[in-house]
Amino acid sequence: MISSATAVPAPQGPPPAARAVGLNKVYGTGSARVVALDAVDVDIPAGRFTAVMGPSGSGKSTLMHCLAGLDRPSGGSVYLGATALDTLSDGQLTDLRRREIGFVFQSFNLVPTLTAAENIILPLTIGGQRPDAALLESIVAALDLAGRLGHRPAELSGGQQQRVALARALVTQPQIVFADEPTGNLDSRTGGRLLGLMRRSVDEFGRTVVMVTHDPVAAAVADQVLVLADGRLVDQFSEPTVDQVLHRLAKLDRTRG
Ligand SMILES: Nc1ncnc2c1ncn2[C@@H]1O[C@H](COP(=O)(O)OP(=O)(O)OP(=O)(O)O)[C@@H](O)[C@H]1O
């Protein structure tokens, strides 16, 4: 038995929703070789809102794709909850993504032949499930989509398509939502509403949200900010304000020359 003097204290609080340990990602070979992620260690706390920032090409999307099991790392490990993703077959990974993860990408990935309503419930339809009617109604109302449900993506504005994509990400009640520049193409009012909904999904429904953004106003809605540069995690801070985000990014610019 280990004496109390030598026992390692148990970690406090819930385990992280996602974790990267020594994460490496290399694309290409020879002169085309790019180290997109270089020994990145990050914890994504459960039930919190994390923003990922950094210059263009710093590895933000790659980190998110690896954490979400969309891309296999070149080295290191990724955990979703207690599950090590490298122990899963491609089929098991697809299953896990469908059950546990919601995605909101810049390109929306909506199915052009389906209506907004059909797109929103698609992840459930694929799994042979029906949506929780009350939840669906509250998401549609919060995103102001009630009047557009019968329209196909080509008949919707960019902002409306973005909101349909977010509704689709939330309707399965995933443990964790990954959003890549979700407000990138939106006017400030629509972007603010979308951020508010993601914030509410954390505060009221205990979801975990990870969002890549270049926008300090969007990042300030998060609980913590991770900053990448050249494939490395170079800064991390909690309870961000817009001024603080601007200040830390300016400091990063100066140190990188
Ligand atoms: N499929 C790929 N093949 C080769 N190189 C890639 C691939 N995907 C990303 N990269 C490279 O990896 C690096 C990190 O890219 P990533 O898209 O993760 O950056 P980012 O921080 O999300 O950039 P941005 O803010 O411009 O979207 C970049 O140098 C990019 O060119």
CATH 3.90.660.10 describes domain 18-103+173-255: no
**Which among 23, 25, 26, 27 is the best mutation to test ligand 1's pocket, defined by most ligand atoms within 8 Å of the CB?**
27
Q: Where are the domains positioned within the chain?
A: 18-103+173-255
Nearest to 186 by CA among 198, 176, 177, 174: 198
Q: Given this model, what pLDDT does residue 10 score?
A: 52
128 pLDDT exceeds 60?
Answer: yes
Bridge partner residues of 49 (DSSP): 209
Length of the chain measured in residues: 257
Q: Which among 220, 212, 215, 216 is positioned nearest to 239, based on CA atoms? A: 220
Using the mean position of ligand 1's atoms as its centre, give its distance from the Cα of residue 231 in Å.
9
Per-residue pLDDT tens over the stretch 157-192: 888 888 899 899 888 888 899 999 888 777 888 788
* 12-48 pLDDT tens trace: 666 899 999 999 999 999 999 999 999 999 999 999 9
pLDDT of residue 107: 66
Mean pLDDT value of segment 207-224: 96
Looking at the DSSP bridge assignments, the partners of residue 194 are: none
Both tokens assigned to 241: 């304000």
The reply to whether ipTM tops 0.85 is yes
Atom of ligand 1 nearest to the CA of 214: 25
Tell me: pLDDT of 3 over 60. Answer: no
CA angle 119, 122, 124 (to 5 degrees): 145
Residues with CB under 6 A from ligand 1: 27-28, 34, 36, 54, 56-62
Q: Please compute the mean of the pLDDT values over residues 98-127 and round it to a whole number.
A: 88
pLDDT score recorded for residue 186? 77
Q: Which atom from ligand 1 is nearest to the alpha carbon of 181?
A: 27
* Confidence grade of residue 2 (pLDDT, cut at 50, 70, 90): very low
Q: Whose CA is nearest to atom 12 of ligand 1?
A: 36
Q: How far is the CA of 78 from the centre of ligand 1 (A)?
A: 19
Residue nearest to atom 26 of ligand 1 (CA): 56
Give nearest CA residue, ligand 1 atom 6.
Answer: 27
Residue 4: the pLDDT is 46
Q: Are strands 34-44 and 176-180 parallel, antiparallel or unpaired?
A: unpaired
Query: What is the arithmetic mean of pLDDT over 217-246?
Result: 96
Mean pLDDT, the chain, whole residue set: 89
Tokens at residue 249, please? 């990014």
Task: Evaluate if residue 210 carries a pLDDT over 90.
Answer: yes
What is residue 13's predicted lDDT score, i.e. its pLDDT? Answer: 65
What is the average per-residue pLDDT within 75-103? 92
What does the pLDDT average to over 124-132? 88
Tell me the average pLDDT across 201-209: 89
Measured in Å, residue 57 CA sits from the centre of ligand 1 at 5
Q: Work out the average pLDDT over 74-84.
A: 94
Mean pLDDT of the 56-60 span: 95
What is the C-alpha to C-alpha distance for residues 48 and 210, in angstroms, rounded to an integer? 9
Atom index in ligand 1 nearest the CA of residue 28 equals 4
Quick one: 19 exposed, middle or buried, by C-beta within 10 A (0-12, 13-18, 19+)? buried
